Each structure stands twice: as structure tokens, then as C-alpha cells.
Structure 1
Amino acid sequence: MPCTNTKSAKPLILFAGEGTHERFYGTAHGAYLSGIREAKRIIQINIMGNECTQFLTKRLADPSPSLVSYKRHGSLPKQSSPDIHPKDSILKPIKHKKGAPSVILSQYRKPTMIDNYMIIWLVSNLDENENNINYLKNMFNCFRVFTDIDEFFAFILDVNREEKVFLILSDVFAEKILSFIHKMCQVLVIYIISNMRSNNEEWIKQYDKIEGIFTNVESICKNVEDKVHLSENDILPNEILNSSQVIIQYLIEKILLYEMKYDENCKKDIINYAREQYPDELDIINDFEQNYLPSKAIWWYTRKCFVYHIINKAFQMQNLEMLIKVGFFIRDLHQQINESYVKNDKSDIKVVYRGQGISENDLKLIINKQQNLFTFTNFLWTTTDKNNSLRIAQSTKNSPNLFGVLFRIEICSSTRFISLERFSYYLNAKNEILFSIYSLFRITNIKEIEKNIWQIDLRLVNNEDSDDEQLKDYLQNLKNIEGETAWQQLGFYFIEINQYDKAEELYETLMKSNCLHHSKQLSLVSEQLGLINYKKNHSTNSLVYYKISLKHYLTYLAEDDSNLLPIYLNIGILGKKQKNYYESIKYFKCALNIVISCSPTD
């Protein structure tokens, strides 16, 4: 604990040394880390002033400090009232004044993880391993190398618990630090590299995270690639589809690929976002900004850099805002797959494979719902190499919560896909096949081929001119959904099935994307946002959106147009809820005038 000045609360004496470290007392790296701790404290005290100093001192004294939080606005209290009249937005939502902390602490930037994994090598000599280090840098975006054991500890202790580290240890360090490093939940796998295999490898058996002793970096890379590939595939979303999910998926696909109008600003937006989220890839991002062409979309996707991970996470989270933000690239990738298929439609590929891990619950759902449609809600990356896919599925045996799955996929003659041999960033892509988003399948067979390893046979369904009767019935329901465009239909459908948050996300994303230019579109979206906020008991927001909608309607409709009747009624009802009776009566009179003018005379 620091010794503080009682008048200013500013620390006068700060204590460092191995004896002050809570975990590494009696060690050199304990002394080193305690010095870093107190240096940070001094920097924060001298840079941020008295208010920050008092805050910081209190935080340091707190045995279990909480995070600095921002107060967020909650929903408005529920009120009983007549129903709002739905009819058939996106302006900026109402701004609530957010609370702010009294001080913002400066932070040392932690390593940015791509899909939450990093490769770290603690090596004894940089010069002797220069070629190997360059090889690893080219193979993996997130790679760090250390020669100093104290710097290594300072870095790895700052890695978040949720992140995954693939650790390579030169043999001179292994036995010294394994007893501690092995217990860290961040460390997923440990590789020991040695110029000569030891005759006695019995000692490593006590550490189950050790993958083995390796004599070259290439063999480690192959092992890491499989596990990273598995890690990425673990989160590749797949779904058993019911009627509602088929409709939503179909409409999202239409919006992303055909309805959205993308311009150069879309590319700028995603580049700015990437620079914030992926600071370790700035050179790649700059290259993308200067040299990206739609005809190179597959090359960029297979590079597995920032744009690949943004797309994967957007599909994984079903984040409509992010999907639309990166929609220009999704469209380019889809078009390149289609165009290249047309040019090379003589393919004799009939079966492809995919190995990955899935959870026990997902596996049970697939087994129990075999009659339903099945999809991977992303671009589907497969291979003609069955053995490699099986090996990836088998590697899940080291993951206690996963079952390995080998998907065997039959391709029909009209299916559009692309061989990556001539388009991939990597040269060894001869056997790899890429399908566009939302490919649909029928499950034809499921069997356990090894303990905890399952084979699932799929038959690809062409959703454009399908003979699948169930799919036809699902898509037939689209005719009953109101709306002239896919985004209008999707918004109406979200409201119909009570997914108000999704509808709100869609409308607000459309407004931010600046794709709504006409008053008719703005009036519709604003009106829908008014209805959504009413359904969510946000009466104040609802009233504002209905008034915005009315403003847009009046740019092309007369004040007594019958189409405005629901708007006047809804504004009147919401005004009454807020006890603004004068305004409420005003809008009820407007509604009454429309009713009278439309009524037949005696």
C-alpha cells in the first residue's frame, strides 16, 4: 500500500520489490513486475492531477474495486392506455443524457486478439531463429516474440482471461516456468521446441497442455493451424431452421446482396472501424484501403485478416448493423463466387467435407430435428480432402465441451460455388471450396464414426428453383408479409413476431447507412419506430417518432389525407398518456375532421 499525504491524498512513498508482489515474491520477475506496477501508479498520479489522484488512491485501497461504469438510460415505466393503431425511420434516436465518471483513467493498450487467439514464442536467441520468427509472422496475424523472461511475464499476465494463447517455449525455458504457466487459463496449448529431442520426455506427461517436443517450427505451425482453424470453426454458426428463421434469413440475404446501395463511404466506415478494433493490422488495413477491388474479394477473405473476422463475428452475433456495415464486401464476395462459377461450370465435384467442433446441445438438436432445413449462416468454407476434415474433427477430443463433426455434403449440379485454387491468398488451396452465404441443406444421415466423433451427411438445397416442398411452403408465406421491399418486409415481420429490438436495430441501421432518401421511406420508418417504442413502453420516444413521421408525411400528403388518420390518432393517444390534453385534443380534432370528410353524406 502507498503511504499518502493526509491533506492531498497524494501518495508520498510507493513500495516496490519482490516482497511486495502478491504472487511472485522471492523471484526476479516478481521484483520486475512490482516496479512496473508502481511506475504506472506514478505516471497516473503526476499526469492526471488531484481529482484523479484521489479517485485512484481510493480505487487502489479497495480490495475488490469495481469497473468505472457509465449510467445508461432505462426503459420508461409501463402505462396502461388504448392501443396504438399500427399502420403500415431512421432518424437519430432521442438522446438521453448519460452520466459520466468523474475521471477517465489512461490505459496501457493491451494486445488485440483476432478471434481471441495469439501465438507467443519465448525464444532463447533472436539471431539464431530469425528465419523461423519471420515464418511465424507471415503465418499468423497475432504473433509476439520474447527473449526476456520478465518481459514475457509482464505481457502474458496482462492478457485477458477470455483470450487464448498458443505458447511456444524454447527448451531452455520450459522446465523453469511450466509449473506456473501451465495453470493459466489463457494458455490453451504449449509447444516445446528443441534442436534435439530429449531421450527422456517423461517429465512433460504431468502437463496435459503440452502438445509435445518439436524440432522445427513448420510442424508446430501445422498443429497450430489445425487448432486455430478448429477454434474459428467452433463459432461458425449453424442452425436448424423453422419457417420463421427461413423467412428472416431469406430477407436479410435480399437486403445485403440486392437492395442496399453501397458507395465509397461504406468502405471508409469499415476501414475506420477496423483501425479501432484491429490496431495490430494497420498495415493490412492501409493496403485494403488503397488496393481493394471487388474482383479481389475472395483473395482478401481467404487472407483471414480483419475483414474475415468482422464478417464471421457479425454472422455469429446476428448483428444486423455490422452485417450492413460490411455488406459491400459480402456482396462483392457473393458476386465473385457466382461469376467465377459461371465461367467454370464444368466442375465434376460432387462431394465436399467440413470438419469442426459443435456443442453437445447443438448435436442433440441436429439429431432430434433431422427433418428440418439446416444452414451455416455464413460463407461456407469446405474441402474435398476428407482426411484433413476428419483430422480437424478429431482434434476436438482435447476440448471437453465439444463433439467432433465431419460434415459430408452432396452438391447438386446447379449449386454455385468456387474452387479457391486460383483465387485464394494462400497457395495451397487446391482442395478448398467456398459457398456463398445462407446455403441450405437437408440432413440425410447421422452416425457416430468414432467415440465422440460424428458424421453428418447433408444434401445441398438450391433455394432459387428448389423442388423442396417444405422450403416452397416457407417462402410462400412471404406473400402475406406487408411491404414493397425486403427491408420493409423484414421490419414488419420482426414486429409481427414480437422481436421489437431486432426491428428497431434494422430501422436505425438503415437510417445510419443513409440509404433512405425519400420522404415516403423516412415517414414509414419513423412511424414504425413510433410503434416499436410504444410496444416497448417508451411512450416519450414513441410520441417523438410519430411526430417526425407526420412531418415527413406532410411533405407529400395534404393535412386531411385519409392516410394520416392513424398518425393523428396515435399522437393524440400518446399526448393523453402524458397528460398533455391541449395537444391531444388538437390531434384528435385532425383525426375527426378526416373521419367526417370521408363519411358519406345523408
Structure 2
Amino acid sequence: MGQFKRIANIIQPFFNPDECFNFINSVKDEKIYFIVSGSLGQQMAPRLENLDQVQYIYLFCGNKANHEEWIKKYKKIKSIHTKIKELCLTVKYDINQFDKGLTSISILSRVSMANLDDSDKQFVYLQMIKHAILEINYDKKIRKNYTDFVRQFYLNSDQQLNIIDTFEENYNLHSPIWWYTRKCNIYHMLRKAFYKKDFEIIWRLGFFIRDLNRDIRKSHLQTHNHQRSLVTVYRTTAIKTADFEKLERSEGGVLAFDDFLITTLELNVALKFANTLCNDPGMIAIIFKIDIDPITSTMSYIALNNLSFFSNTEGEVLFSMNTIFRIEKLEKRQDRLYQVNLTAVGKKDEEIKNILEYMDEVTLGLSGWYKLAKLLVDVKQYDGAENIYKFCFSQTQENHRDERAFVQHELGHLNELKNNYPSAIEHYRTALGIDLKHLEAVHPALLSTHVNLGDVLLKNGDFNEAIKEYKSALKIEKPEKLNVPVQYNNIGKVFLKQRMYSEAQQNFEKAVQILLQEFPTARRELADTYHNIGEMYYLMKDYAKALNYYDKTLELDQKVFSQNDPSLASTYYNLATVNEALKLHKKAIQYVEKAVEIVQAFYGNNHAETKAYVKYRTQLQQTS
């Protein structure tokens, strides 16, 4: 067992096949190298063969000849061994080869930044997250934060724990390039984190990502700054068939390598490695041929020659973070092996300019840790964002009240997004408590916290407390212009939730009166209030009045939103329900058809809202 611990981080022995299969089925994002005795392997191989988690199977037995015939039926059985040392060397080589072929890429096939689909949005946000990481000023505390965090993954490996101790104590004695090319835990953690989009690990490694990126850029300026001739390098990887199909469709688009990129100057080296990757039936081997024009390209790269931990790195080139390329051409070299020709793009590239402008808009006014946390919230990486906010709060001094209140407010918002309402309420109230220690109760800075706290209290069913917060918002001095009618509308919604129609109506009417008299151009706010009044009359079964207010809502929505906005779909859906209640089935179907058309175009067919609208349309069609 000790020999295996030197080649793998997690060793999991089993003596019961059923328990073993239960464990394998629980593994989602890792590869398993399965070692089993010959006789037991013969029993388990049929089930193991079809499990994606299992990379290879190795038989360890006393007599190879007993098993050489039956194993021919199973592609995942890599080899048979009678000596433990030989087995360990084979497994170690296979793990290293798989890790070497692991490359995380993102593809953007569309030119427009408007209405990005989920895949394109992932590309853009990943670039933003990497940019944010590189902008943060880190101190020694974050390095200690990382080493404390990473030790939990290597509790059974004394070798890796010793390397972590060495890294912590001697980090500044070597260059970041030296540490990265040592290919110890930090190298493996970083590559795996980018491959799995594990932002919890990525943000903790931010200090090293920034240092390594700076080291590469500095070395590039010293050695390659005056280079003028075209540079061609190669990178070999294996990607899933589904990812390859997207790559095929994206010719002319842009591709980013998410991690730091190690390449070779030698095509023969790339080809030799590619041939070892062609055997996996679920993967396609890819050789990326990368052409870089030093005159137009802004990316940094460095020949590893004398900079690496290892001496045998002749011909290897390491690229900095944020390497983006144009996909020029795909060429088939042989079965399951393709060459993809890429060219480096610079900031003057029109599509890259669009991406950079979009990035500036999304993160306007934010920097450092808060910029990174906001981006993680946007991509629904809530746990990573929450840990960043908690880390920032722990590092912020007591007298920096505005910043501490801001962090608590953001933690409240984050937990609200997670539907963890009790925790959201706690954080919003903590933010208010911090602010009230140095601000008057009617200070404008308290407005958003009162409103957000009221919103989450309403969602949590704490109606009286929600009304208190909205009324506190009404008392704010010099508030935002629309604050008063918006708060009356909010209070009306609380009463509506409690079916207190008279009180709800009074507050909605106050909101409408103020909006019409003082804010005639506030169409969105007026539409929202009309919608709530329509809902109120619908619940009161006064369908004629409900229809009247939903019609008013639609009239305003059509002036505010584009034809394909989901807000319009919601209004069409409400009009369908009230027309159904009035026995006007033909009109109801017409409205729900419009709603379905919008959500299908915006969300796709698998979104919950689309499914709900389609189901309702089917019900209407069956009863008409």
C-alpha cells in the first residue's frame, strides 16, 4: 500500500465487490485506476467495462497465463502483473499520460455579446474571472490559506505533505516557473481545477496564478521581446466527442486555453503522444498547431530550457494565462486524430475588443476580491463567492465599517440567491447593525439593505417584519426618486400575499397615483404595479378588472421590453390565465402561444419555465 501512496493521492481498498461498485458509482468527476486480482477481475470486468469513471483495469495475480485469453474481450484491461514494482510503474506512467493530455479549453462561436447562450457565456465569464484573479494584490495570508486548505487532500501522502511544507517555507527561494514545472501538488491542483471549473480551488490559488503569469511575462520581455519571425508550437490533448463536435462547428470562432499552456516546438513529439491518446473510444485526440506572429500578438511565452525544475525540457514552451486563438482549420490526420490550426489574436481583433468591452461593463466599479466574487456569483459558483466574502470580512478591520457592511450585504444577497432565506436575513441584519453604529436611521445608504431585507422576509413568509422594512425604506431622507411609490407597491405585495385585499389595494393605488402624477415616464414601475393589481383582482375572482389591468401591463411592457424579453412572456401567460377564467379559450391559447414562443427562443426547450408554459398550452388545447 505504501508504494501506491507514492503514485496516487487517494487509495481506496475494498474487500466486498458490492461496496466497491457503490463507491465507483459515487465518483463523478474523477478517473479510477482499478487494480484487482485475476479471478475477481474476471467476475467484475463486465460491469467495470461500461463505467466511464474507470480509466483502466490492472490485474495482479500469480500466473499471467491463466488470464491472457479472457481479458481480450475488455478494452479497459490495460495489463497483467505478477510483480508489485512493475505494476506501480505502469500505473504511474498511465496517470502521468492522462494528466499530460488533460487540457481545459473554452470556445466562443458567436460574434455578438448580446443574448449569449450558456456555453458562450461560460467562455466570456471564465476570461473575466482569470483577469480578475490577475488584478488582485495578494499577501502572505492567502498563501497560508491555500496550504492549510490543500493539506486536507493529501492526509494519506507523507510525500505530498512534505512538498506542501517545503512550498510554504521556501516559496520565495525559487521562481514560480520552477514550482509549476516541478509538477507537484500545486501543478496538479491547478490543472484539475481549471479542467473541472472548480473555482473554490482556483481563487485560493490566485496568488500563484498571478505570480506565475508575471514570471512568464517578465521572462518573455527579457528573451523574446525583439523576436520578429513566426513561431509555431504544438499541443496534444484528448477531448470528449461532444466537445469535438462543438469544435468542428466553431471554425472561424475563438478558442481559449483556460490553464497555463505547455507546448512543444517538435511536431514529432506531439504526434507520438497523440498516438497514445487515440485508443480511448470516448475521446478524440487533437494536435493543436499554433502559429504566433510576434509583431501582432500580445501574448507572452517562454522557452523552458534552463528555467524548469527538470533538465530535459528542451523544445518546451510555456504560455501565460489568457491565451486566445482564432480557430482557422480542422484537418483529419487519421481515425480519431485531428489537427486544429490556430493563430494568436491580439487586443485589436474585433471580437476580442467586443469581449473586453463586455467585461468592463459587467464589472464596472468593482476591483480586486469583490470583482472576483461578483463574477463567481454571476456564474452561480456561490460557495466560492461566499468563501471569498467571508475571507474578506475576516481581513477587514473593525473601523472599516462601510466595507464590513458591504460584505455582509453581499453575503445576504448571495444566500438569497441560494434560497437560504434565514441566512440571508441574518447577513442583511448584520449589515444594518454595522451601518447603524455610525449612520442615522434615515441615511440614504441604508435604503438598499432595508428593501432587500424586506424582499427576503417576504419570501420567507415573515410578512409583518417585511412591512416594517419597507416602511423604514419609506422614511429614508433624500432617497432615490422612485423610492416612495416602489415601497408602497412592495407593501401592497405583502398584504396581497396575506390575501388582505383592501390593504393591498390602498397601497397599490397610492403607488399608481404618485407614479402617474410625479413620474409619468416610469413605465416599468407602473407596469409592475398594474401587474400586482391585476393579480389581486384575479385572486378576488373579479376577472374583468384583472383583464383590464393585465392589458394595461402589456401596453407598458411592449414599450419597455424587446419583443423576445421573458418579462413579456410572463404578461402573456397572465393574460392567458384570465382569458381562460372568462371562458375565452381561443384568446387564451393565442396568448400562451406567444408566451411559449418567447421562452423557447430565450431559454430553450428544457428550461422549467418553458416546460410549465408548454404544459399549460396543452391543457388549454385539450379543453377548448
State the match for 1:43 in structure 2.
Answer: none
Aligned with 2:448: secondary structure?
A: helix
Find the residue that maps to 1:594 and give its secondary structure. Answer: coil
Question: What SS is found at the alignment partner of 1:398?
Answer: coil
Q: Is 1:369 paired with 2:253?
A: no
Give the corresponding residue for 1:77: none
CA distance in 1, matches of 2:208, 2:371: 24
The reply to whether residue 588 of structure 1 matches residue 471 of structure 2 is: yes
Normalised to the residue count of structure 2, the TM-score between the two structures is: 0.60
> Structure 1 residues 205 and 480, CA, compared in 2 at 3 Å: closer, same or farther?
closer
> In 2, Cα distance between the equivalents of 1:419 and 1:527?
47
Deviations 1:496-553 (CA, angstroms, capped at 9, x unpaired): x6x4x32563243232254555433332333233334444444333322222222333
Counterpart amino acid of residue 429 in structure 2? K
What letter corresponds to residue 549 of structure 1 in structure 2?
A
- Offset at residue 225 of structure 1 (A): 7.1
* Structure 2 equivalent of residue 188 of structure 1: 56
Does 2:320 align with 1:436? yes
| 1:522 aligns to 2:404 (yes or no) | yes
Mapping for residues 558-577 of structure 1, pairs under 5 Å: 558-575=440-457
In structure 2, C-alpha distance between the alignment counterparts of 1:365 and 1:587, rounded to whole Å: 49
Cα 1:473/1:166, change in 2 over 3 Å:
same
**Counterpart for residue 609 of structure 2:** none
Of 281, 285, 301, the residue aligned with 1:400 is 281
Which of 384, 387, 397 is the matching residue for 2:268?
A: 387
Q: Which residue in 2 is equivalent to 1:553?
A: 435
Match of 1:300 among 179, 182, 197: 179
**CA distance in structure 1 between the aligned counterparts of 2:466 and 2:413, rounded to whole angstroms:** 19
CA distance in 2, matches of 1:597, 1:454: 59
1:344 maps to which residue? 223
Counterpart amino acid of residue 105 in structure 2: N
Do the aligned partners of 2:425 and 2:457 also contact (CA within 8 Å) in 1? Answer: yes
Asked whether 1:267 is paired with 2:132, we answer no
Higher RCO (CA 8 Å, separation ≥ 6 residues): 1
Measured after TM superposition, the shift of residue 476 of structure 1 is 1.2
Listed as ranges, the gaps of 5+ residues in structure 2 are: 49-53, 114-120, 485-624
Residue 103 of structure 2 corresponds to which residue in structure 1? 236
Residues of 2 paired with 1:220 and 1:582: CA distance?
66
Aligned pair partner of 2:341 in 429, 449, 457: 457
1:446 has 2:330 as partner: yes
For residue 310 of structure 1, the aligned residue among 171, 176, 189 is 189
Structure 1 contact 379–435 (Cα < 8 Å) conserved: yes
CA distance in 2, matches of 1:560, 1:189: 69
Number of the residue aligned with 1:540: 422
User: Can you list the C-alpha shifts for 1:327-360, whole angstroms capped at 9, x where unaligned?
Assistant: 2222221122112212212566711111111111
Alignment of 1:208-287 (within 5 A): 227-241=94-108, 243=113, 244-263=121-140, 265-278=141-154, 279-280=156-157, 281-287=160-166
Cα–Cα, structure 1 residues 314 and 504, in superposed 2: closer, same or farther, change >3 Å? Answer: same
Hey, what's the Cα distance between the residues in 1 that align with 2:479 and 2:191? Answer: 56
Q: Aligned residue for 2:202?
A: 323
1:411 paired with 2:292, answer: yes
The answer as to whether partners of 1:192 and 1:210 remain within 8 angstroms in 2 is no
Q: Alignment RMSD, CA only? A: 4.4
Q: Report the AA paired with residue 564 of structure 1.
A: L
Closer, same or farther in 2 for the Cα pair 1:435/1:166, shift >3 Å?
A: farther
Q: After TM superposition, give the deviation of residue 382 of structure 1 in Å.
A: 1.2
Residues 423-502 of structure 1: matches in 2 within 5 Å? 423-462=307-346, 466-481=347-362, 482-485=364-367, 487-489=369-371, 499=379, 501-502=380-381
Q: Which amino acid aligns with 1:238?
A: I
Letter in 2 for 1:585: K
8 Å CA contact 1:527–1:545 kept in 2: the answer is: yes
Partner SS for 1:483: coil
SS of equivalent to 1:330: helix
Query: Which residue matches 2:515?
Result: none
Distance 1:408 1:567, change over 3 A: same
Q: What amino acid does structure 1 have at the position aligned with 2:130?
A: E
User: Could you tell me the percent identity over the aligned residues?
Assistant: 24
TM-score, normalised to structure 1, is 0.62
The residue identity in structure 1 corresponding to 2:236 is: G
Residue 206 of structure 1: how far off its partner (Å): 6.9
Task: Provide the secondary structure at the position in 1 that maps to 2:381.
Answer: helix
Distance 1:228 1:181, change over 3 A: same
User: What SS does the aligned partner of 2:333 have?
Assistant: strand
The residue aligned with 1:357 is 238
SS of the residue corresponding to residue 370 of structure 1 reads: coil
SS at match of 2:475: helix
The residue aligned with 2:595 is: none
- How many residue pairs match? The answer is 444
**Do 2:444 and 2:479's aligned partners in 1 also have CA atoms closer than 8 Å?**
no
Q: Which moved more, 1:283-292 or 1:510-519?
A: 510-519
Cα distance in structure 2, aligned partners of 1:246 and 1:178: 42
CA 1:212 to 1:541, structure 2 compared with 1: closer, same or farther past 3 Å? Answer: closer
Deviation at 1:266, TM superposition (A): 2.4
Asked if 2 retains the 8 angstrom alpha-carbon contact of 1:355 and 1:391, the reply is: no
SS of match in other structure, 1:293? helix
Say if 1:230 and 1:357, in contact at 8 Å, map to a contact too.
Answer: no
- Give the Cα–Cα distance (whole angstroms) in 2 for the partners of residues 298 and 531 of structure 1: 39
2:9–2:153 Cα contact (<8 Å) kept: no
Which residue, out of 375, 387, 395, partners 1:508? Answer: 387
Whether the 8 Å contact between 1:568 and 1:591 is mirrored in structure 2 is: no
CA offsets 1:166-213 (integer angstroms, 9 cap, x no match): 87x9xxx99x998579779457265999xxx99xx9998677567689
Amino acid at match of 2:277: T
Alpha carbons of structure 1 residues 454 and 573: separation in structure 2 relative to 1, 3 Å:
closer
Write the deviation string for residues 545-564 of structure 1: whole angstroms up to 9, x where unpaired. 22222233345544322232
Aligned-residue offset at 1:368 = 0.6
Going from structure 1 to structure 2, the CA distance change for 1:228 and 1:548 (only over 3 Å counts) comes to same
- Give the Å deviation of 1:237: 1.6
Q: Deviations over 1:16-63 (max 9, x none)?
A: xxxxxxxxxxxxxxxxxxxxxxxxxxxxxxxxxxxxxxxxxxxxxxxx
